[in-house]
Amino acid sequence: MPAGQFTLYRANLDDLSVADIAAAVVKVALVASGYTPNAANNGHSLWAEVSASEIANGNGYVTGGFTLTDSVALATNGHMYDSDDPTWTASGGPIPAWRYGVMYLDGTVAGMVNPLVGYFLGDTAPADVPATSDGNPLTIAVPADGWFTVTQGV
């Protein structure tokens, strides 16, 4: 399934650099529909503000999400953040339904513990992405032009 439009959490835009993200352990976690993203300037900034809505551990999903193998590449007037496609395989039962994927940095970065980077909606309806049946993979296809691009006007 393709990742929906990626939205950056604005509360961290002035604090995190592309170099911070490239040097950190970056994760994507899946959260249930009970979570309402707040990407306003004074909105959510830390994983602790989101983690209570993460789907249950087990059946192929691991608490904390998928650790990305990532890269930062030059883009026109800026940088593009890209990664491998996050993939979980349901095992021993279904991976629960989810609504949002949330990207965060694992650890202390720029003086913040587990700062948020951004999120995407899993289903454009918006509706929950149905549970992934036992034995099947749940793969989020990263857009061809990466998760996001940070550019500077010229």
CA-wise closest residue to 44 among 125, 99, 104: 104
Helices and strands, counts by H and E, the chain: 1, 12
pTM of the full structure: 0.92
DSSP state of 32: -
**147 in Cβ contact with 83 (< 8 Å):** yes
Q: Which amino acid is at 85?
A: D
């980077």: which residue's tokens? 117
Cα(46)–Cα(104) distance, integer angstroms: 8
What is the residue extent of each domain of the chain?
Answer: 6-151
Cα(93)–Cα(133) distance, integer angstroms: 7
- Give me the half-sphere count of Cα atoms (radius 13 Å) on the Cβ side of residue 140: 32
Sequential pLDDT tens for the chain (154 residues): 566 789 999 999 888 887 888 889 999 999 999 999 999 999 999 999 999 999 999 999 999 999 999 888 767 677 888 899 999 999 999 999 999 999 999 999 999 999 999 999 998 777 899 999 999 999 999 988 888 887 765 5
